[in-house]
Amino acid sequence: MDSKKVVIVGGGFAGINLAQKLSRDKRFEITLVDKNNYNFFSPLLYQVATGFLEASNISYPFRKFFQNKSNLRFSLGAFEEVFPQEKKIRTDSGAFYYDYLVFATGTESNYFGMENVKKNSVPMKTLQDALALRNHILWNKEKATKMLNSSDRRKILSIVVAGAGPTGVEISGMLAEMHKNIFKKDYPELKREEVQIYLVDALPVVLNPMSKKAQEETLQELEGLGINVLLDHEVSDYDNGIVSFKNGKTIETGTLIWTSGVTATDLPGIPKEVLGKGKRVLVDAYNRVTGYDDIFALGDICLMKADEKFPEGHPQVAQVAIQQGKNLAQNFEKLIENKTLEAFHYKDKGTMAIIGINKAVADLPGFHFKGFIAYFLWLVVHLFSLIRYRNQVKTFYNWMAAFVTRDQSLRFILDAKPDK
């Protein structure tokens, strides 16, 4: 029997798990296409942005990962269009034919049509975003040391984090820890009260997906760190260093970090009729795109309503993508053996969020933890979720050093000309 050609577009949690598991079966020839030449662990982007981890700690090159896998190839390129009738996709580096096509391209920041916010804010979706944010924050610190006017210093040093989900909570908490333990030593010219951190959200709660107990504990910890938490504050604009809200209030700031929403990436060639909320691709219980037998979608980009416990679709979290990738690998094997496919059912392993050193919350099935226990659980889960042993060792070392010293040394400005 001729081997089946599987083309996977996107090497995030879903794509890499599908490719890794499927590569063990030589009946498949697998090509993974990605616009980056590396996989990266997105839940730790904020630690790269704040200088607690190097970019290499949370990333790993695809080609090195695929060494010694004879039926697995990598192609660097950005997806441009799919041609279902020809069973072909086009990328900016060439075309690929497939027997089975899998989209696992994830999401991108959603600015809800606000062009000024898109142009002037700093997102948190890619390694480039994280490094750009680190450069931006450090540049602003250096600029502030040369300013004589206190109101100008206060404006450039103020940071607004839009979106009080896990990413927003984690980065605002980390920034508050840095201002408390690090920046006061690095920048003795600046007064601590000139540094203001705001966490804003259109919703009336922080960590909306988590339990009420976790939300209340998190709000208390955030405020204890000196963070100004502004709920029921929906951003409407960001221009000339002023964040405007729909309730008429404003904040002057040199930095708006945007973690407030995501939307699925565009898939030219896929009809708009099979797109649901947030442009997510509608799929059946086996992750097949509606209307197609040979095109599949995984992870954040897909919307599956066939799972009875999640009739409105699964949360856009890493565990969903990982589990879907592994399930689809098994179903591909069943497909070529003409066996009954296994419907996907998400096994919710819980939700965690870290707030600061020794400060975290964790909602696990049947249990709730806070403080050091939740902090330790968060560290363990994220450490062992990293793709390779090398990443785990380097990350563990950096975490332990930061925990003991309450400091880190990765405060390099790597961009000579900040653009925001």
Which tens digit of pLDDT belongs to each residue from 45-90? 998 898 888 888 889 999 999 998 999 999 999 999 999 999 999 9
């063990």: which residue's tokens? 24
Are 241 and 266 contained in the same domain?
no
Strand partners, 199: 161, 229
Question: Which 3 state secondary structure label does DSSP give 362?
Answer: strand
CATH number at residue 211: 3.50.50.100
Are 271 and 244 contained in the same domain?
no
Those residues whose C-beta lies under 8 Å from the C-beta of residue 9, and which sit 6 or more positions away, are: 15, 33, 34, 79, 89, 101, 102, 103, 104, 105
pLDDT band at 217 (very low <50, low <70, confident <90, very high): very high
pLDDT digits (tens, 9 = 90+) for 122-154: 999 999 999 999 999 999 999 999 998 989 999
- The separation between the first and the last C-alpha atoms of the chain, rounded to the nearest angstrom, is 56
pLDDT surpasses 70 at 207: yes
Are 242 and 122 contained in the same domain?
yes
**Cβ atoms of 395 and 57 closer than 8 Å:** yes
pLDDT surpasses 80 at 418: no
In this structure, is residue 416 part of a structural domain?
no
pLDDT band at 265 (very low <50, low <70, confident <90, very high): very high
pLDDT surpasses 80 at 402: no
Query: Rounded mean pLDDT of 306-326?
Result: 94
What is the reported pLDDT for 140?
A: 93
What is the reported pLDDT for 94?
A: 94
What is the reported pLDDT for 298?
A: 98
- Residue ending a domain, among 260, 277, 312, is 260
Identify the domain containing residue 312 by its residue range.
Answer: 4-35+77-109+262-336
In this structure, is residue 371 part of a structural domain?
no
Average pLDDT, rounded, for the chain:
91
Are 219 and 312 contained in the same domain?
no
pLDDT surpasses 60 at 340: yes
- Residue ending a domain, among 260, 295, 318, is 260
Are 274 and 235 contained in the same domain?
no
- Per DSSP, the residues of 286-302 read T-BBTT-SSEEE-GGGE
CA distance 52 to 130: 11
CA distance 183 to 407: 10
What is the reported pLDDT for 375?
A: 85
Are 203 and 149 contained in the same domain?
yes
Kindly tell me the sign of the dihedral angle through the C-alpha atoms of 225, 228, 231, 233.
negative
Are 28 and 134 contained in the same domain?
no
Task: Give the tokens for residue 156.
Answer: 């450039």
Are 146 and 228 contained in the same domain?
yes
What is the reported pLDDT for 182?
A: 81
What is the reported pLDDT for 404?
A: 61
In this structure, is residue 72 part of a structural domain?
no
Query: Rounded mean pLDDT of 227-250?
Result: 97
pLDDT surpasses 80 at 412: no
- Residue ending a domain, among 321, 336, 351, is 336
pLDDT digits (tens, 9 = 90+) for 345-383: 999 989 999 898 889 999 998 889 999 899 888 888 887
Which of 221, 215, 213, 216 lies closest to 368 in space, CA to CA?
A: 213
Are 252 and 266 contained in the same domain?
no
pLDDT digits (tens, 9 = 90+) for 157-190: 999 999 999 999 999 999 998 888 788 788 888 8
CATH number at residue 96: 3.50.50.60
In this structure, is residue 198 part of a structural domain?
yes
Are 195 and 267 contained in the same domain?
no
CA distance 245 to 156: 19
State how many domains the chain has. 2
pLDDT surpasses 60 at 420: no
What φ, ψ does residue 405 adopt, rounded to 5°?
-90, -15
What is the reported pLDDT for 406?
A: 61
CA distance 153 to 306: 53
Strands (E), 285-350: 295-297, 302-304
What is the reported pLDDT for 178?
A: 86
What is the reported pLDDT for 405?
A: 62
In this structure, is residue 220 part of a structural domain?
yes
What is the reported pLDDT for 280?
A: 97
In this structure, is residue 24 part of a structural domain?
yes
What is the reported pLDDT for 366?
A: 87
In this structure, is residue 247 part of a structural domain?
yes
What is the reported pLDDT for 380?
A: 82
Are 132 and 248 contained in the same domain?
yes
Q: What is the DSSP letter of 24?
A: T
Percent of the chain with pLDDT over 90: 75
Are 121 and 239 contained in the same domain?
yes
What is the reported pLDDT for 294?
A: 97
What is the reported pLDDT for 416?
A: 58
pLDDT band at 337 (very low <50, low <70, confident <90, very high): very high
In this structure, is residue 268 part of a structural domain?
yes
